[in-house]
Amino acid sequence: MAETGIGAAVRRKEDQRFLTGAGNYVDDIARPGQTYACFVRSPHAHARIRSVDTKKAAAAAGVVAVFTGKDVADAKLGSLFCGWMVTDRHGQPMKTTPHPVLAADTVRYVGDHVAVVIGESREAAAAGAELVSVDYQALPAVVSSVAALKSGATQVHKDVPGNLVYDWVLGDQAATETAFKRAAHVTKIDLVNNRLIPNAIEPRASVGDYDRGTDQLTLYTTSQNPHVHRLALSAFIQIAPETKIRVVAPDIGGGFGSKIFIYAEECVVLWAAKKIGRPVKWTADRVEAFQSDAHGRDHVTHAELAMDKDGKFLGFKVSTIANLGAYLSTFSSSVPTYLYGTLLAGQYATPAIFCEVKGVLTHTAPVDAYRGAGRPEATYVVERIVEEAARQLKIDPAELRRRNFIAPSAFPYQTPVALQYDSGNYVGALDKALKVADYAGFARRKAESTKRGKLRGVGFSSYIEACGIAPSQVVGSLGAGVGLYEAAEVRFNATGGVTVFTGSHSHGQGHETTFAQLVGDRLGVPIENIEVVHGDTGRIPFGMGTYGSRSLAVGGSAIDKAMDKIIAKGRKIVAHLMEASEGDIEFKKGMYTVAGTDKKMSLGEVAFAAYVPHKLPTDQIEPGLDETAFYDPKNFTFPFGTHICEVEVDPETGRTSIAKFTAIDDFGHIVNPMIVEGQVHGGIGQGIGQALLEACVYDEKTGQLLTGSMMDYALPRADDVPSYTVGLTTTPCPHNPLGVKGCGEAGAIAAPAAVMNAITDAIGAPLEMPATPARVWAALQKRAAKAA
């Protein structure tokens, strides 16, 4: 079993279909009689819609139907919504806004959806969309969060005075101020966490299908959480009862958060399919993805760290303005609050922390969770200021961290910002990272770089994250509109194979392999005989889906719990068939044995007996071997680690190259180390992208999206990033049955601070992300001018 069991680098089961072109992505789906949707989108950042004339479009060749904001209003389609109610510093609920699936009177960002044209072909729909004539009265727009807060700023929604959705606080302000009063040294920093556009390589797509005979609606859509979609389409958009909607998220080409949310297009497509009685398909082109996928990050922060004379952290205060875009996306409100402020303790035993966050509306695309969601922003603030403090105090940055880490003996550790860390060994990860990165040899490498006329720098990032979201009661008390358990069904078939139905959703994470390993290892079934089913509300139990690195910790634990039930039922069956007491029956790796005897029975034999129950008292033992479990986590999990980046900057061009990137992470127990490494690589790639290349830019005056294509928005390419050195320490999670934590976001959380700390070390000047050659060069010139 070792070669496919827990801990084995099993090659992925799903790869065969992906490598042979046999995957089934949403745009690959073709339903009989299918039509195509094209959305008419606002060219303005802010405008009043005076009128929409659809006559020409409706009459055009190949156009099947045209729908506008008035049509969806007449049909009483519900509003898109934000599912997390944040309470502000005065105890008041945050301000919310209606968000119709097609705008009726006002558009609020470039790309806002105004109408939809449905055609016999993609081309006919697109040509028809060109013929929809919208009379806009352009209005002034505000795109920066800081500008939107200024008095007299243009209002995005009349229901949100001053564009302020909430003014939220966390922590003990008085205690923090007191700590600052007795500080020997205070380090201050101003940071911008640059706005990003997720850019999963598969654009969003949806196919709506309606079966007149059964009155059933099916939505094939790019979702990370199909049941959440079904719930929203039913309860909020009010298209049909949940029993009449099936949501299928088949193979999905990456998500990174952007496919969690409920978007207008998928609602319209499903509603329109019933309306016209034919399937309707929509596939975003990349320009639409840039304009209308939920964006990420976009924080402006001032932070101060108070220390005693030895560099011990006494207090930390953080003030952040978070841009939420033009409407509140599905989980947007929680990202800069409960997923950000709560992480500001980092790995440190800072006794007093106070954080205030203003959530602000602007005339930009909605902003929501993007890989890491709040935690990269928190890590960036903490790790940039800690590094800055080390430089100011002339203490080695590793040493300053070591002095302030929460000690391994201090767990469980209650932070001053709500979370209770369950376990950790921060110094262990730091020490390993120093060794693997050969920190001791940095001075020599720097000297060598200097000889070649290059500037070399090193930067650290010792991050913490809260994954495995989350205990339902806790998130409920914080305003979440949903529970955050996970569901699983383990169906042992009569002939020995196992089908696992999971509420988690794989969009690249390899669940079909990892979950098969989990089940195979415990139930003694070869992984070839295990099928993992996900992404179809018609097949799986009600699950919450995949985000926040939760699949293994929550979804895997649900599978484990279902296996508990399978094993327990099997034990009853064995006890009966072997005339033994249940208490004497042991189970290991698929085999039941009766203690003190040589009697044994495999789980496969038990399954056959369960499905062919000729010898079972079926009034006491139900036939079948098929169990469902819901697992609600007891706490978040807290992965951590230290990443160390070394860069070389060319002072002539300002170009940065990453010379070395070392990541030591602690994810608890590992099921498939190959997949875990791959997740870390990918996260680091995105983190480096944020640090060096990526920035979503809106024109301040016009509100136009200036980075609206892959030619304007710089995604990392193979020659922008290095090979990474990754390694692990292992501190199991104490409160889930698998001892696992989650690995999907660590790289994206840790990397930006490590890279920026390295560059600022190299150039000796402050710098904002992305550290483009132009910015680095300008910073160097400015520093030189200052010195002269």
Q: Which residues make up the interface to another protein (CB under 8 A)? A: 11-12, 14-23, 25, 27-28, 30, 123, 199-203, 251-254, 256, 285-287, 507-510, 674-675, 677-679, 681-686, 688, 709-711, 715-719, 721, 723-724, 747
Contact 592/571 with Cβ under 8 angstroms?
Answer: yes
**Burial of 82: CB neighbours in 10 Å, binned 0-12, 13-18, 19+:** buried
CB distance 430 to 346 below 8 Å: no
Shortest distance in whole angstroms from residue 691 CB to another protein: 13
Supply 610's token pair: 């369960």
In whole angstroms, the minimum distance from the beta carbon of 338 to another protein comes to: 26
Provide the minimum distance between the beta carbon of 162 and another protein in the complex, in angstroms, as a whole number: 37
Min separation Cβ 675 and another protein, Å: 7
Find where tokens 């070399």 sit. Answer: 456
Residue 487's Cβ-count burial label (10 Å; 0-12, 13-18, 19+) is: buried
Tell me which residue of 296, 301, 300, 302 sits closest to 325, measured CA to CA.
Answer: 296
Q: Cα(282)–Cα(271) distance, rounded to whole angstroms?
A: 13
Residue type, 325: G
- Cβ nearer to another protein, comparing 626 with 665: 665
- In the complex with another protein, the residue whose CB is nearer, 11 or 150, is 11
Amino acid (1-letter code) at residue 597: T
Instruction: Name which of 181 and 717 has its Cβ closer to another protein.
Output: 717
Assess contact for 641 and 415: CB atoms under 8 A: no
Query: Could you tell me what percentage of the chain is helix, strand and coil, using 3-state DSSP and rounding each to the nearest 5?
Result: 35, 25, 40
Count the neighbouring beta carbons within 10 Å of the beta carbon of residue 152.
6
Provide the residue type at 293 as one letter.
Answer: D
- Say which residues have a Cβ less than 8 Å from residue 621's Cβ, sequence separation at least 6: 569, 572, 573, 576, 613
Of the two residues 421 and 661, which places its CB atom closer to another protein in the complex?
661
User: Which is closer to another protein, CB of 496 or CB of 678?
Assistant: 678
Residue 708 beta carbon to another protein: minimum distance, rounded to whole angstroms: 10
Least Å distance, CB 283 to another protein, is: 8
Of the pair 34, 628, the CB lying nearest another protein is at 34
How remote is the C-alpha of 60 from its chain's centroid? 42
CB of 251 to another protein, least distance (A): 7
Q: Which is nearer to another protein, 34 or 173 (CB)?
A: 34
For another protein, which is the closer residue by CB, 252 or 322?
252
Asked if 746 and 687 count as a contact pair (C-beta separation under 8 A), the reply is no
Q: For residues 758 and 715, what is the distance between their CA atoms, to the nearest angstrom?
A: 21
Asked if residues 198 and 256 have their Cβ atoms less than 8 Å apart, the reply is yes
Q: In whole angstroms, how close is the CB of 692 to another protein at the nearest point? A: 13
CA angle 339, 342, 344 (to 5 degrees): 110
Task: CB nearer to another protein: give 54 or 546.
Answer: 546
In the complex, the smallest distance separating the C-beta of residue 693 from another protein, rounded to whole angstroms, is: 12
* Nearest approach, Cβ of residue 535 and another protein (Å): 13
Q: How many C-beta atoms lie closer than 10 Å to residue 410's C-beta?
A: 12
**Least distance between another protein and beta carbon 16 (Å):** 8
- Name the token pair of 499: 């089908």
CB 198 within 8 A of CB 357: no
Are 536 and 248 a contacting pair, CB within 8 Å? yes
Residue 71: how many CA atoms within 13 Å on its side-chain side?
16
Of the two residues 12 and 550, which places its CB atom closer to another protein in the complex? 12
Residue 123 or residue 700: which is nearer to another protein going by CB?
Answer: 123
- In whole angstroms, what is the distance from residue 70 CA to residue 75 CA? 9
Tell the smallest beta-carbon distance from residue 521 to another protein (Å): 20
Shortest Cβ 716–another protein spacing (Å): 8
Q: To which H or E segment does residue 20 belong?
A: none
Secondary structure of residue 426 in the 3-state scheme: helix
CB of 679 to another protein, least distance (A): 8
CB of 709 to another protein, least distance (A): 5
Q: Is 263 helix (H, G, I), strand (E, B) or coil?
A: coil
Which one, 619 or 719, has the nearer CB to another protein?
Answer: 719
Q: Residue 416 or 752: which CB sits closer to another protein?
A: 752
Tokens of 286: 């990349």
With a CB cutoff of 8 Å and minimum separation 6, the contacts of 476 are: 483
Tokens of 154: 């243009």
**Per the structure block, which two tokens stand in for 102?**
């097609």
Supply the minimum distance, in Å, between the C-beta of residue 28 and another protein: 4
Amino acid at 565: K
Q: Tell me the two tokens of residue 49.
A: 């819609």
Smaller CB distance to another protein: residue 139 or 714?
714
The Cα 376–Cα 683 span in angstroms is 11
User: Is the Cβ of residue 100 or residue 747 nearer to another protein in the bound state?
Assistant: 747
The residue among 208 and 708 lying less far from another protein, judged by its C-beta, is: 708
Q: Report the residue number, 22 or 447, with the smaller CB distance to another protein.
A: 22
Distance of CA 494 to the CA centre of its chain: 38
Closest separation in Å from C-beta 511 to another protein? 11
Which 3 state secondary structure label does DSSP give 482? coil
Q: Which residues of 528-565 are buried (b: 16+ CB within 10 A; e: fewer)?
A: ebbbbebbbbeebbbbbbbbbbbbbbbbbbbbbbbbee
For the bound state, the minimum distance from the C-beta of residue 718 to another protein, rounded and expressed in Å, comes to 4
Altogether, the residues listed in the chain come to a count of 788
Residue pair 730/668 in contact (Cβ under 8 Å)? The answer is: yes
- Calpha distance 647→763 (Å, rounded): 10
Q: Which is nearer to another protein, 214 or 723 (CB)?
A: 723
Cα 185 to Cα 311: distance, rounded to the nearest angstrom = 8
